[in-house]
Amino acid sequence: MSKTKFFTVGLLLILVLVLTACTAEAPAAPAPEEPAAVAQEVLEEVPAEPLLEDRVVIYSTHGEDMLEVVAEAFYDETGVQVDFINLRGELAERVLAEKDNPQADVMYGGASNLFMDLKAQGVFEAVEPSWAAAMDPIFKDEENFWFGTIQTPVILFYNTEMLSEDQVPGDWFELGDSRYAGQLVFRNALSSSARVMYAALLQQFENKGSLDEGWEFMKAMDANTKQYFGSGTLMMQAVGRQEAALSFSTLNHIMDNKLGNKLPIEIIDLKSGSPVITDGIAVIKDAPHPEAAKAFLEFAGSPEIQGLLATDFNRMPTLAGALENSPEWMGEVSFKVMEVDWVDLAAKQADWMQTWDLEIKDSEKDVE
């Protein structure tokens, strides 16, 4: 073979080997970048859950046994330690005094008028728990500054062995009629439910421009009252022993004695309705543990916890969704709700009750 042919063949072999090697070693084409970019956008649209602080401080008026149940359940779910301080009688004052330097995160308990007043003074932070939309507007602030977790109706009831259904009054204002002389027993004004009831009745007269008539009614009702009790238990026992036919109490207390103690009593659905005290909850503005505070409000107001408190402590829930886990009577009971201006009532209640105690009520009827 000539040198020229040898060179040509050799060159062709070299080219084939080079092309084969290039083909084998060629890297795979890069994957399109668009799907990765889309995935990144999706990740950016989902905000991370806020980290909870390791503790939350609660100011409350609820009993310690109930607070402990809620605190332990919250810790089990979140790992957040709950420090609660019971401030019966001075809750609102303490929260307001600490407005510029809050020491607590959540106000849990206390009547709705306290929450209304403190909201107006800029003490709370608006939040929107997941269950807010399901709550009846009468149990919450329209701007989400506070929410009701427990409702406590104050209801007139009677001993069914002393009065027939057609003999009971159709409204509160009939309690001043002479036919009920000696048939009434009530709590004294040291009872928070009694203060609300007496003041709410006076407000009904004031709303009609006739507060003087209201005081005349209170005098007539006092004349018909046999005794005023410092103890709700003693008052209920008096009705059970047929010492009097009529009284009022919180609905859960009535049902406790009707179902648990088998007293022959029934509630009366009155024409002007019955006042409903709402116990609330709110996050304190500039709280030291803000994320834990919001999480506690979400938890404590949930249907699950409302149902737990209904079952274990006979507290009537504000969320309809909690009724399926509550005592049966809570879903069956029906009554008209009295229209009450709670802010106005709170402003006048102390003065009205002082007049009631010192000038109207016969103190000789008091039973400690």
Per-residue burial over 180-196, b if 16 or more Cβ lie within 10 Å, else e, is: beebbbbbbbebbbbbb
List, for residues 107-142, the tens digit of each pLDDT value: 999 999 899 999 999 999 999 999 999 999 999 999
Q: How many independent structural domains does the chain possess?
A: 2
Residue-level pLDDT at 191: 84
More confident residue, 16 or 143: 143
Residue 32 confidence (pLDDT) above 70: no
Mean residue pLDDT of the chain comes to 89
Residue 213: predicted pLDDT: 97
Residue 122 lies in a domain: yes
Q: Tell whether 218 and 271 lie within a shared domain.
A: yes
Please indicate, yes or no, whether residues 180 and 68 belong to a single structural domain of this protein.
no
Asked if residue 218 and residue 130 are part of one domain, the reply reads: no
Share of the chain above pLDDT 70, in %: 87
User: What's the pLDDT at 305?
Assistant: 98
Task: Indicate whether 257 pLDDT > 90.
Answer: yes
In a domain, 268, yes or no: yes
Residue 74: give the domain boundaries.
55-151+277-332
State the average pLDDT over residues 282-295.
98
63 and 112 inside one domain: yes
Same domain, 162 and 247: yes
Residue 43 located in a structural domain: no
* Domain shared by 106 and 175, yes or no: no
Question: CATH no. for residue 78?
Answer: 3.40.190.10
Same domain for 177 and 158: yes
138: in domain? yes
Q: Are residues 95 and 147 in the same domain?
A: yes
Identify whether residues 217 and 347 lie together within a single domain: yes
Residue 182 domain flag? yes
Tens digit of pLDDT for each residue in 207-247? 999 999 999 999 999 999 999 999 999 999 999 999 999 99
Note the pLDDT of residue 346.
87
The per-residue pLDDT for range 326-362, each reduced to its tens digit, is: 999 999 999 999 999 998 998 899 899 999 999 999 9
Residue 322 has pLDDT above 70, yes or no: yes
Same domain for 224 and 357? yes
pLDDT digits (tens, 9 = 90+) for 155-211: 999 999 999 999 999 999 999 999 999 999 999 887 888 999 999 999 999 999 999
The answer to whether residues 323 and 342 belong to one domain is: no
Whether 214 and 351 share a structural domain: yes
